[in-house]
Amino acid sequence: MTKYIEFLKKAFSGEETDFTKVNIRSAVLLLAIPMMLEMAMESVFALVDLYFVGHLKESGFAIQTVGLTESVLSIMYSIAIGMSMAATALVARRIGEKNPEQASRSAAQVLLVSFTVTFILSLLGVLYAEEILILMGSKPEAAAYGKNFTRIMMGSSTIIMLLFLINGIFRGAGNAMIAMKSLWIANIANIILCPILIKGLGPVPALGLTGAALATTIGRSIGVIYQLYHLLVADTQIRILISYFKPNYGLIKSIIKIATPGIFQFVIASCSWIFLAELVATTGGENASAGYQTALRLMMFFMLPAWGLSNAASTLVGQNMGANEMLRAEQSVMKTVKYNVIFMLIVSLIFLFMGNFLVGFFTQETAIKDFAKNALQIMSIGFIFYGIGMVMINAFNGAGDTWTPTWVNLFGFWLFQIPLAYFLSKYLDLGPKGVFISIPAAETLITIVAFILFKKGKWKTIKV
């Protein structure tokens, strides 16, 4: 028991470790434990919002607005994740080469490029919030009700980008503890502010759905301030100086080369989720849409920790390739697969046997609960495949091979999942259930293809 306690203390200590030398099992778990908790905290944002807005008077409109806004924001997340892939790959490779100064310079250039792109998209989201909701399938009255929530959330896209991107930098350096703490701090602030701003307290007026957006934005901003302190001021392995932000066009070219397919990779996936959300809303109505969004938030609560675990593969692949330890890089991936399969099997059982209880925590409307429970049970069938697929995708990305998972996603989501969802829901008249079925079917196919390509080993030849 003492041995395990000491191991957990080390995982949470944030002390610098050479992940190219320690035991592979220890390397995976030292990175995975804080990374899983980090991603769990990211999923808490959506669940906290969903819980509080689910108890508002117009809960159907509110839940739908939160869900549709999150679907649109997933495009911003895609850009942030794509850029963080470049950051993780470059930083991990330079750390593996024992060159922390160049790792820091790479991090600064990724921040420079990302901020410029996200600011422009954030502005468009603020200006066209109501139109975006209507385009997503929301009724005009629901869009008018939720436009301020969407406007604030879209306006905070730069903060979202920084939160993801800086955590990607620290993960690449192997310092998952700072990444985890930043999201813990952000979530604690959000949990405290949500009831105050939504329901009102003392001189603070009840802002309803708008209060949820403000609470989330303020919470994330506090997390980013914590990150920036450790990036710019504290004495850590990655230490960015102001001079590092001077544009380095050679490095920017390398960043764009890695990040562009990485962004496409997640835009492809995110846009497919947007299409599915719209298809559920049009074939099943408001209750189906609210139920589907509830199920997705619950699913992501458990999926994001699994994604955090799979991030360990990204860091270990990058650092071991930098140290020219190719066999160790591959062994690290397979060890991570083993742990993720175990985790996702447990999640599958939870959803199959406790789905109704979990859904009831967020809404008491029978129609919404029925759709949500049905979605959870169907989607959980493919969870083990999700777990394997996540690790494969992160392994490619950690190697800097962001094109392979991009093509896999394009094939799996747009050439298979969307046509299947449309066929099942429209032509076979299964409605929302047809959409739910298409999700595990596509993820299973994507995982099989990704695993075959990983075993072929082309990723081992990538230079960054």
pLDDT recorded at residue 45: 67
Residue 444 has pLDDT above 90, yes or no: yes
Torsion of CA 449, 450, 454, 458, to 10 degrees: 80
Question: How do residues 128-144 score in pLDDT, each as one tens digit?
Answer: 877 877 877 777 777 77
Which residue bears the tokens 């650092």? Answer: 319
pLDDT recorded at residue 4: 61
For residues 223 and 181, what is the distance between their CA atoms, to the nearest angstrom? 8
Non-local (6+) Cβ contacts of 152 within 8 A are 210, 213, 214, 217
The pTM score is 0.77
Residue 407 has pLDDT above 90, yes or no: yes
Which of the residue ranges 77-91, 362-376, 412-426 has the most confident prediction, judged by mean pLDDT? 412-426
For residues 267 and 173, what is the distance between their CA atoms, to the nearest angstrom? 26
Q: Where are the alpha helices (DSSP H) in 241-325?
A: 249-322
Query: DSSP secondary structure string, 357-391?
Result: HHHHTT---HHHHHHHHHHHHHHGGGHHHHHHHHH
For residues 307 and 370, what is the distance between their CA atoms, to the nearest angstrom? 28
Range 323-348 average pLDDT: 91
Residue 2 has pLDDT above 80, yes or no: no
Question: How do residues 10-68 score in pLDDT, each as one tens digit?
Answer: 666 666 677 778 788 888 888 878 877 777 776 676 667 667 776 676 666 777 777 77
Range 268-285 average pLDDT: 84
- Top pLDDT among 237 and 192 is at 192
Strand partners, 461: none
Q: What count of residues does the chain have?
A: 464
pLDDT recorded at residue 463: 82
pLDDT recorded at residue 410: 92
